[in-house]
Amino acid sequence: MKSILRRLVAPVILILITVAGSAQRKMIDGLLRDSTTLFPIGNGTITNSTISKTVKSNNNGYFKIEAGPNDFIYASAKSYRFDTLKYSLMFTDTITIYLSFSGNVLPSVTVKGQYSRYQLDSIARKKDFDESRGTVQKTLSSDHPSGFGLTFNLDKVFKKKYRNQGSETRTFSLLEKMEYINYRFSPNLVAYFTGYKGDKLKDFMSLYTPSFEWLRRHPSNEDVLYYINDKLKLYKATAGK
């Protein structure tokens, strides 16, 4: 009789424990940040491994995920070391997870026969861009039915998807320039050599981030470091800091 009762009671207790644990779970707000610059990390992956739920951080580093006491939360992002935490009700309403940068703060020098991280990323972005927009149609084509002369492509002129291709290409080119600037003059690099973080780092970078053209004319790491040093002196003199 006792063994029968045990077999009946055990599942009930297990269910009650599970329900109690689930009842304590709630949606929590979180921020994913760079541990050096304190800048937000966008498109990071946050996973509650206890309940197998995964979310992404937005451009401001913000995310929302379900969690309860003793749940394990993993956070990761491209170019950063992953980190974990064990959630507790003692945490504040918004948890902040800091990830440390995994790469060298100095951009790698391109060696013959090899590509830098920026170049490899750029190649991948270009491939994705070409695939997403399809084949670019030419306004003038040499493929004339008679075998010579030029053909005027009316589809290129009148169809919206073709009219937008020029704008999309210019946008892609602008984004590539921004990626190059961020690669050569990254927040981690500037933070490392200035010691600035957070709002102070943002202020310095908004004032002194060099142009794409300047960086192309000054391809070495030393050029960028001398530039940071010169601008740091100017910043301290003008800001009185």
Give the residue extent of every domain in the chain. 21-99, 104-174, 185-241
Alpha helices in the chain (DSSP H): 2-24, 117-133, 154-158, 160-184, 187-194, 198-208, 212-217, 221-239
* Token pair listed for 161: 């998807």
Q: Percentage of the chain with pLDDT > 90?
A: 50
In terms of pLDDT, which residue wins out, 212 or 130? 212
**What pTM did the predictor assign?**
0.65
| pLDDT at 13 > cutoff 50 | no
Residue 203: half-sphere exposure toward Cβ, Cα within 13 Å: 12
In terms of pLDDT, which residue wins out, 140 or 154? 154
pLDDT in tens, 78-89: 999 999 999 998
| pLDDT at 10 > cutoff 80 | no
Strand order in the sheet with 26-34: 62-67, 26-34, 94-99
CATH label, 21-99, candidates 3.40.50.720, 3.10.20.30, 2.60.40.1120, 3.30.300.130 = 2.60.40.1120
